[in-house]
């Protein structure tokens, strides 16, 4: 039996998103990703409460070098109790190694062997904290990595990579890609306000054919932004054209939609969508 949750207020600025969802012929599989766990723990935990209170899943990218045993234990406990939190690897130390303006931890200046060593070391540290709770997913800092990182990820046991939708696919055999469709904290939202961001999100939702990912950032989410984000979550948690999923399930959907590809399915496909 589905859990009936109290309806919370939805801001008027979300109307374009509601209209886009109303017009969809089929429900939209939707996931949230939050990066940089290990920094600003208090803000992260407050953000998690937004999702837990509404019964929405959220995937957390954890920086291996930055995460403390205390935070790891808190995330592990909350994931076990709520079944709403996924954890995966976010880089290694979140350190830029490029001289140019495009920051990257796994960019072209580092050879494949060095990248593989960092990814493996980070994964082992996170496995020690999370064990089977750790998803075989990887998000690179700044949503950016070189093509050679693909083979390093596969070599380290990573099944899927998540970056921005505009990033050129790596096309690495054995590595699924689960991109983010829109960034909640992107500059256009700040320049044009919530209404402009809502129109951009609505347009993307109308065109979306596969899983739709929204990136959030606890580091820059203050009390005002938490309230605004809460208004968006209130809409998405109650709309019958939204199917909230985890990134693990999103990868399964993408693999099921490309049966001839070498992608490894890491979870059941469409039938496993959350009610």
> Is 183 domain-assigned?
yes
* CATH for 99: 3.20.20.370
- Residues of the domain holding 16: 12-272
CB atoms inside a 10 Å sphere around CB 269 = 15
pLDDT at 266: 53
pLDDT at 190: 59
The pTM of the full predicted model, rounded to 2 decimals, is 0.90
User: CA 198: distance to chain centroid?
Assistant: 19
% residues pLDDT > 90 (the chain): 79
What would the pLDDT profile of 78-95 be if each residue is shown by its tens digit?
999 999 999 999 999 999
| Number of Cα atoms under 13 Å in the Cβ half of residue 130 | 31
What would the pLDDT profile of 237-263 be if each residue is shown by its tens digit?
999 999 999 999 999 998 876 544 433
pLDDT at 54: 96
> Is 103 domain-assigned?
yes
pLDDT at 3: 53
Tally DSSP H helices, then E strands, for the chain. 8, 9
State the pLDDT confidence band at 139, using cuts at 50, 70 and 90: very high
From CA 231, how far away is CA 10, in angstroms rounded? 5
> Is 133 domain-assigned?
yes
Q: Are 33 and 180 in contact (CB under 8 A)?
A: yes
pLDDT at 268: 41
As a whole number, mean pLDDT of residues 7-21 equals: 88
What would the pLDDT profile of 28-75 be if each residue is shown by its tens digit?
999 999 999 999 999 999 999 999 999 999 999 999 999 999 999 999
pLDDT at 145: 97
pLDDT at 228 over 70: yes
> Is 6 domain-assigned?
no
Say how many domains are in the chain.
1
> Is 154 domain-assigned?
yes
pLDDT at 4: 52
pLDDT at 275: 38
Q: Are 159 and 175 in contact (CB under 8 A)?
A: yes
State the pLDDT confidence band at 9, using cuts at 50, 70 and 90: confident
> Is 95 domain-assigned?
yes
> Is 19 domain-assigned?
yes
Q: Roughly what angle, to the nearest 10 degrees, separates helices 223-238 and 15-22?
A: 20
pLDDT at 245: 97
pLDDT at 274 over 70: no
pLDDT at 246: 97
User: CA 230: distance to chain centroid?
Assistant: 17
What would the pLDDT profile of 170-225 be if each residue is shown by its tens digit?
999 999 999 999 999 875 555 568 989 999 999 999 999 889 999 999 998 889 88
Q: Is 254 left (phi over 0), alpha (psi -120 to 50) or beta?
A: alpha
> Is 5 domain-assigned?
no
Per the structure block, which two tokens stand in for 75? 């995330």
State the pLDDT confidence band at 271, using cuts at 50, 70 and 90: very low
CB atoms inside a 10 Å sphere around CB 102 = 11
What would the pLDDT profile of 144-177 be if each residue is shown by its tens digit?
999 999 999 999 999 999 999 999 999 999 999 9
């Amino acid at each position: 039996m589905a859990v009936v949750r109290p309806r919370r207020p939805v801001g008027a600025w979300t109307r374009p998103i509601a209209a886009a969802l109303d017009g969809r012929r089929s429900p939209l599989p939707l996931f949230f990703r939050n990066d940089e766990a290990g920094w600003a723990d208090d803000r992260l935990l407050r953000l998690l409460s937004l999702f837990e209170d509404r019964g929405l899943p959220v995937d957390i990218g954890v920086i291996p070098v930055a995460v403390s045993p205390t935070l790891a234990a808190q995330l592990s406990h909350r994931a076990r109790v709520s079944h709403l939190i996924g954890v995966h690897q976010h880089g290694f130390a979140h350190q830029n190694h490029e001289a140019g303006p495009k920051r990257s931890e796994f960019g072209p200046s580092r050879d494949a062997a060095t990248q593989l060593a960092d990814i493996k070391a980070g994964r082992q540290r996170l496995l020690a904290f999370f064990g089977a709770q750790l998803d075989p997913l990887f998000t690179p800092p700044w949503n950016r990595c070189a093509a050679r990182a693909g083979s390093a990820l596969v070599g380290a046991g990573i099944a899927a990579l998540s970056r921005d939708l505009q990033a050129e696919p790596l096309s690495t055999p054995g590595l699924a890609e689960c991109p983010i469709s829109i960034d909640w904290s992107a500059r256009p939202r700040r320049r044009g306000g919530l209404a402009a961001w809502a129109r951009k999100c609505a347009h993307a939702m109308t065109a979306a054919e596969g899983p739709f990912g929204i990136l959030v950032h606890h580091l820059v989410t203050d009390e005002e932004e938490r309230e605004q984000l809460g208004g968006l979550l209130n809409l998405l948690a109650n709309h019958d054209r939204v199917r909230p999923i985890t990134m693990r399930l999103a990868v399964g959907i993408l693999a099921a939609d490309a049966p001839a590809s070498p992608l490894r399915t890491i979870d059941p496909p469409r039938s496993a969508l959350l009610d």
